[in-house]
Amino acid sequence: MLSVNEIFYSIQGEGANTGTAATFIRLAGCNLRCPFCDTEHHSGVAMDEKTIIGQIEGHPGRWVVITGGEPTLQNLDNLIDGIHKIGKKVAIETNGTRPIPAGVDWVTVSPKAAFVANGKVLVKKADEVKLVFDGEHDICDYGIEASHYYLQPCDMGNQEQNMKIIGQCVAFILQDPKWRLSLQVHKVIHVK
């Protein structure tokens, strides 16, 4: 049984898989309290894995993204098995403070250690690192070995501030091209 905030089918708007059709399972709850968190993950409905699979198996997209909140707070073993059994692949989006469950096909770590005292990153290997930059805190990879490093401007809800932060991200990437820019494309194209 899992506490689920929402399930929806959309386009991945961030990171290396931007533009890819995917089902998103947003699990409820997080162990961090980031100051800029814009994700409604506080409310959740108890759902068993079979019910979740029933809701997602009709979606044509090959990827299922388990996100949150912080998805690793819940036991995902049966869900991951169930997703694989219907022929889909599992991606997870985590803040990296907890171990990644076995069987995940794509790991995105979005470290929040710069913003909260209890955000220390424990995960050392991922497919991609997606670092949110708020214009103030240092940019670093926290020693995570990954194939892709993305810098994502924090959406401050203020156009002027956002443009300044985007400019800082671009300037940083020009100096350290290991990083690439990740924009929240789903917000640009107005999809969920």
Where along the sequence are the contacts to ligand SF4 (CB under 6 A)? 30, 32-34, 37, 39, 41, 68-70, 95, 112
User: Shortest gap between Cβ of 170 and ligand SF4 (angstroms)?
Assistant: 23
39 is catalytic: yes
172 is catalytic: no
User: Shortest gap between Cβ of 109 and ligand SF4 (angstroms)?
Assistant: 11
Secondary structure letter of residue 170 according to DSSP:
H
- Residue closer to ligand SF4 by CB (options 29, 61) is 29
Among residues 84, 137, 148, 186, the one annotated as catalytic is 186
Phi and psi torsions of 159, nearest 5°? -55, -45
Q: Which value, in Å, is the radius of gyration of the alpha carbons in the chain? A: 16
- Residue closer to ligand SF4 by CB (options 51, 184) is 184
20 is catalytic: no
For residue 118, give both structure tokens. 């209890």
Among residues 36, 38, 136, 145, the one annotated as catalytic is 38
Q: Say how far apart CA 95 and CA 34 lie, in whole Å.
A: 11
51 is catalytic: no
Among residues 36, 39, 136, 145, the one annotated as catalytic is 39
34 is catalytic: yes
Q: Say how far apart CA 94 and CA 100 lie, in whole Å.
A: 8
37 is catalytic: yes
Neighbours of 27 (CB within 10 A): 25
Among residues 14, 23, 24, 108, the one annotated as catalytic is 24
64: Cβ–Cβ under 8 A, 6 or more apart, which residues? 22, 23, 24, 25, 56, 83, 88, 89, 90, 91
Q: Catalytic site residues?
A: 24, 30, 34, 37-39, 93, 186
